[in-house]
A and B are shown apart, each in its own frame.
Chain A
């Protein structure tokens, strides 16, 4: 018994003539048993196919999620540029410069540093980072 559908007019005719009345009981039970097995097998195949597809989907998501996680950590660790980080660096430099303005000068022992590690020069109370 296969899933394929075969047309054979001679065989059909022979079967029709041989079993003109009813099927013999043992042939009928045997056929029923085989049909039952066939159906169970077909359902098992469907279930296996669905399980395989589910597993593939899960694996794809797992790989994607791990890649995303690793990419995020690497990008952050390698110092990728971000608009927010740039702005925070500017704000931090402003705070640093305002804090040091009254007591710092070219001869000062301490000096402030800007976002790129460059020193900040001060012009007065409302100075900006050079």
Chain B
């Protein structure tokens, strides 16, 4: 590739990124005008994505992925890794978006409300975070697709052989600390100005014991059953499948609640669905996905398996649909024949 061609490629990449930035800006701006902006959600998604990237990748890998996205030439193997980084960033944005909705919904339902109008607004606003996550995921998929196409076409300079791979321990620790801080600050921003919610009670709202036991127990059991040879994919499948089982369990319990006209049963099931979705997504984002990223970047595996990819795409989608169902179940009035 000549210098002129390189400049042209960089120019095209810059235009693409400017277009993407304008796209994000217009989505956020349209939200501002239609009063559907979720500032806490935006903050959570932006910093949460940075934290999730640090949990799975080292600084040099992140830097290289950005350079390659802007059109700089690189060996094929390096381009392949950068394509994987952008795919992982898209995956993180999508999962973080749905996780943000689940956490937002928990805070909206778990805190003391200022009436039905207030709680309805906050519940609907919680779904906006998924929209942000989806927009960011689409944005990250653009360089991922471009780079993957380059690798398939056989573009890139000749491969000099496998280079040194850093484990990125410092980045991982920093990523986890940042992620915990982002979660804490997001919850603080959501409950800010609502003095009725004590610090202890908000923790008790999030820590739904049965949901935590089902997600953790199911994931460990499935990971043990699959064995160590499968690697981090066992955890991805564990969180994904256990989460799905939990969602279905909660939904079936809610249906029984409607048949028995028991508000207690329905509310228990709704709390279970929301908590299972939160814990399973948290496990996928903070435990399984970073471990899979390290396996791929350190060359222990060529790429993620199709089951992992399916868990990353399908489970958050199902979790989002179940969250929508819980919203409908909450606002649906319950009646019984009077006597």
Contacts and interface: CB of A to CB of B under 8 A. Distances in A.
A11 interface: no
B160 interface: no
Contacts of B275: 84
Interface string A69-97: 11111011101101111111101111110
B264 A117 contact: yes
Interface string A7-31: 0000000000000000000000000
Size bracket, chain B contacts = 35 or more
Interface in B179-235: 201, 204-206, 208-221, 224
A72 B213 contact: yes
B330 interface: yes
A123 B268 CA distance: 28
B338 A91 contact: no
Nearest to A54: B228
Given A61-B224, A85-B270, A76 B262 contact: no
B263 A114 contact: yes
Contacts of B274: 84
B264 A89 contact: yes
Contact of A100 (B249, B268, B335): B335
A96 B116 contact: no
Given A61-B224, A82-B208, A99-B333, A68 B261 contact: no
A100 B333 contact: yes
A13 B336 CA distance: 101
B131 to A, nearest CB: 23
A112 B210 contact: no
B151 to A, nearest CB: 39
A116 B335 CA distance: 14
Interface size class of A (residues with CB under 8 A): 35 or more
Contact of B213 (A71, A77, A113): A71
Given A65-B217, A112-B335, A87 B268 contact: no
A31 B214 CA distance: 59
Contacts of A89: 263-264, 267
Interface string B276-315: 0000000000000000000000000000000000000000
B119 interface: yes
B109 A87 contact: yes
Contacts of A108: 338
Contact of B333 (A80, A95, A109): A95
A117 B262 contact: yes
A73 B336 contact: no
A66 interface: yes
Interface string B76-102: 000000000000000000000000000
Nearest to B250: A76
A52 B299 CA distance: 31
B105 to A, nearest CB: 10
A82 B335 contact: no
Given A83-B201, A112-B335, A113-B334, A69 B272 contact: no
B252 to A, nearest CB: 11
B338 A75 contact: no
A95 B267 contact: no
A93 B111 CA distance: 15
B335 A76 contact: no
A58 interface: yes
Contacts of B332: 95
A67 interface: yes
B249 A94 contact: no
B333 A112 contact: yes
A64 B220 contact: yes
Contacts of A126: 115
Contacts of A1: none
Interface of B: 106, 109-111, 113, 115-116, 119, 201, 204-206, 208-221, 224, 249-250, 253, 261-268, 270-272, 274-275, 330-338
Given A69-B218, A113-B336, 5 more contacts: A68-B214, A72-B212, A84-B205, A85-B271, A110-B335
